[in-house]
Amino acid sequence: DGGITQSPKYLFRKEGQNVTLSCEQNLNHDAMYWYRQDPGQGLRLIYYSQIVNDFQKGDIAEGYSVSREKKESFPLTVTSAQKNPTAFYLCASSITSGSTDTQYFGPGTRLTVL
């Protein structure tokens, strides 16, 4: 987990509210990613960013938004349009977006919708 921080660790949200999850890295990595983890489903890619001011949708982007204004930061907003937001959210980064680059993960944020 070293070098990538996520906050908060636990987050509770009422239905209809937007919430923003923080992800910061001090590894000087160009590429950053957001994944969602649900029991028994592995990890699914929400959004990714190769460089500052650029990002692309992953496999399950609906109901989420991101920004990449700084190299070290890649916040994820879970909007009220996300039908089932309760999940464990993981941020990752890699040196570049190259094929062989290893992705390193943060400690995660557990989001619960009340």
Partner 1 sequence: AQSVAQPEDQVNVAEGNPLTVKCTYSVSGNPYLFWYVQYPNRGLQFLLKYITGDNLVKGSYGFEAEFNKSQTSFHLKKPSALVSDSALYFCAVRPPRDTGTASKLTFGTGTRLQVTL
How many chain residues are in contact with partner 1, going by CB under 8 A?
32
Span from 13-21, 62-70, 72-80, 100-108 in contact with partner 1 (CB under 8 A): 100-108
Q: Which of 11, 27, 43, 52 binds partner 1 (CB under 8 A)?
A: 43
> What's the CA gap between 114 and 105, in Å, rounded?
27
- List, in sequence order, every residue forming a beta bridge with 55; answer none if it has no partner: none
Binding of residue 49 to partner 1 (CB under 8 A): yes
Cβ proximity to partner 1, 6 vs 82, nearer residue: 6
How near is the Cβ of 80 to partner 1 at its closest, in Å?
Answer: 26
Q: Which of 21, 66, 90, 113 binds partner 1 (CB under 8 A)?
A: 90
